[in-house]
C-alpha cells in the first residue's frame, strides 16, 4: 500500500496568515497552530497586550474573529464576518471594542 504523507500548512492557514500579515495592527502569534488540517490562526496586537484568533467554524458555517486583552480572560470580543474579505475589518472592529 502506498501512503502519501500529508504535511505542511493548509491552504486556509496560509490565506489567514496572509490576512494577519497584511493587517496594519496585527502579527502572527509565535505559537499559532500549523498543519494540513489547521483552520485557526492566532494573532497578537498592541505589542502583545491583545491576543486573538481568526478561524472558520465548520459546524456553524461561519468565520470567527475574536480577541481579548492578555491580562483579562473574561473580556472576549467576538465578531462573525460575512466573508473572508471582511476579516480585516472584523479585526479592526474587535480591536476598537477593546
pTM as predicted:
0.88
Per-residue pLDDT tens over the stretch 5-50: 567 888 999 999 999 999 999 999 999 989 888 889 999 999 999 9
What does the block give as the cell for 25? 495592527
The Cα-based distances of 62 to 17, 24, 26, 65, 88 in angstroms read 18, 24, 22, 10, 15
Tell whether the torsion through CA atoms of 32, 68, 98 and 38 is positive or negative. Answer: positive
Per-residue pLDDT tens over the stretch 39-88: 899 999 999 999 999 999 999 999 999 999 988 778 899 999 999 999 99
Amino acid at each position: 500500500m502506498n501512503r502519501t504523507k500529508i504535511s505542511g500548512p493548509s491552504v486556509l492557514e496560509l490565506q489567514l496568515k496572509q490576512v494577519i500579515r497584511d493587517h496594519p495592527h496585527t502579527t502572527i502569534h509565535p505559537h499559532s497552530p500549523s498543519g494540513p488540517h489547521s483552520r485557526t490562526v492566532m494573532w497578537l496586537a498592541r505589542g502583545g497586550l491583545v491576543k486573538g484568533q481568526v478561524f472558520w467554524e465548520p459546524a456553524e458555517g461561519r468565520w470567527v474573529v475574536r480577541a481579548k486583552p492578555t491580562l483579562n480572560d473574561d473580556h472576549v470580543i467576538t465578531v462573525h464576518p460575512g466573508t473572508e474579505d471582511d476579516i480585516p475589518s472584523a479585526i479592526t472592529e474587535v480591536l476598537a471594542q477593546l
